Protein backbone atom coordinates (compact mmCIF):
# COMPACT_ATOMS: atom_id res chain seq x y z
CA UNK A 1 0.00 0.00 0.00
CA UNK A 2 2.53 2.59 1.09
CA UNK A 3 5.08 1.51 -1.52
CA UNK A 4 3.16 3.24 -4.32
CA UNK A 5 5.00 6.59 -3.91
CA UNK A 6 8.29 4.70 -4.18
CA UNK A 7 7.20 3.46 -7.60
CA UNK A 8 7.17 7.04 -8.88
CA UNK A 9 10.71 7.57 -7.62
CA UNK A 10 11.81 4.35 -9.28
CA UNK A 11 9.98 5.37 -12.43
CA UNK A 12 12.16 8.46 -12.76
CA UNK A 13 15.31 6.31 -12.78
CA UNK A 14 13.81 3.80 -15.22
CA UNK A 15 12.63 6.57 -17.53
CA UNK A 16 16.08 8.17 -17.51
CA UNK A 17 17.96 4.91 -18.17
CA UNK A 18 15.71 3.67 -20.98
CA UNK A 19 14.69 7.10 -22.34
CA UNK A 20 11.00 6.30 -21.86
CA UNK A 21 8.50 9.12 -21.55
CA UNK A 22 6.51 8.98 -18.34
CA UNK A 23 5.06 10.79 -15.34
CA UNK A 24 8.29 10.78 -13.35
CA UNK A 25 10.31 12.54 -16.02
CA UNK A 26 7.38 14.85 -16.80
CA UNK A 27 7.26 15.82 -13.13
CA UNK A 28 11.00 16.60 -13.02
CA UNK A 29 10.85 18.64 -16.24
CA UNK A 30 7.74 20.49 -15.06
CA UNK A 31 9.39 21.41 -11.77
CA UNK A 32 12.45 22.69 -13.63
CA UNK A 33 10.27 24.70 -16.03
CA UNK A 34 8.05 25.98 -13.19
CA UNK A 35 4.97 24.59 -14.91
CA UNK A 36 2.85 24.62 -11.77
CA UNK A 37 -0.44 23.30 -13.23
CA UNK A 38 1.31 20.15 -14.48
CA UNK A 39 3.14 19.70 -11.16
CA UNK A 40 -0.15 20.09 -9.30
CA UNK A 41 -1.93 17.66 -11.61
CA UNK A 42 0.70 14.95 -11.22
CA UNK A 43 0.79 15.49 -7.45
CA UNK A 44 -2.99 15.11 -7.20
CA UNK A 45 -2.90 12.05 -9.47
CA UNK A 46 -0.25 10.37 -7.31
CA UNK A 47 -2.12 11.29 -4.10
CA UNK A 48 -5.36 9.80 -5.44
CA UNK A 49 -3.51 6.67 -6.58
CA UNK A 50 -2.01 6.25 -3.09
CA UNK A 51 -5.45 6.63 -1.49
CA UNK A 52 -7.08 4.15 -3.87
CA UNK A 53 -4.34 1.55 -3.43
CA UNK A 54 -4.46 1.93 0.36
CA UNK A 55 -8.22 1.37 0.36
CA UNK A 56 -7.83 -1.68 -1.90
CA UNK A 57 -5.09 -3.03 0.38
CA UNK A 58 -7.28 -2.58 3.46
CA UNK A 59 -10.20 -4.35 1.78
CA UNK A 60 -8.00 -7.26 0.71
CA UNK A 61 -6.65 -7.58 4.27
CA UNK A 62 -10.26 -7.80 5.45
CA UNK A 63 -11.00 -10.58 2.98
CA UNK A 64 -7.87 -12.60 3.74
CA UNK A 65 -7.95 -12.30 7.54
CA UNK A 66 -11.40 -12.85 9.06
CA UNK A 67 -10.25 -11.35 12.39
CA UNK A 68 -10.16 -7.92 10.76
CA UNK A 69 -13.57 -6.26 10.84
CA UNK A 70 -14.56 -2.94 9.29
CA UNK A 71 -17.65 -1.46 10.94
Distance, in Å, from the CA atom of 32 to the CA atom of 42, rounded to the nearest integer, reads 14
Tens digit of pLDDT at every position of the chain (71 positions): 667 677 777 888 888 888 888 888 898 899 999 999 999 999 999 889 889 988 998 889 888 988 887 77
Torsions phi, psi for 5 (to 5 deg): -60, -30
List Cβ<8 Å contacts ≥24 apart for 57-64.
57/1, 58/1
- What predicted TM-score, i.e. pTM, was given to this entire model? 0.73
Taking each helix axis as running N to C, give the angle between helix 36-64 and helix 4-18, from 0 to 180 degrees, rounded to the nearest 10: 130
Domain ranges of the chain: 4-64
Amino acid sequence: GMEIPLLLGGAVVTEQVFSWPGLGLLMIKSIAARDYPVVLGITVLVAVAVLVFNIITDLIYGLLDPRIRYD
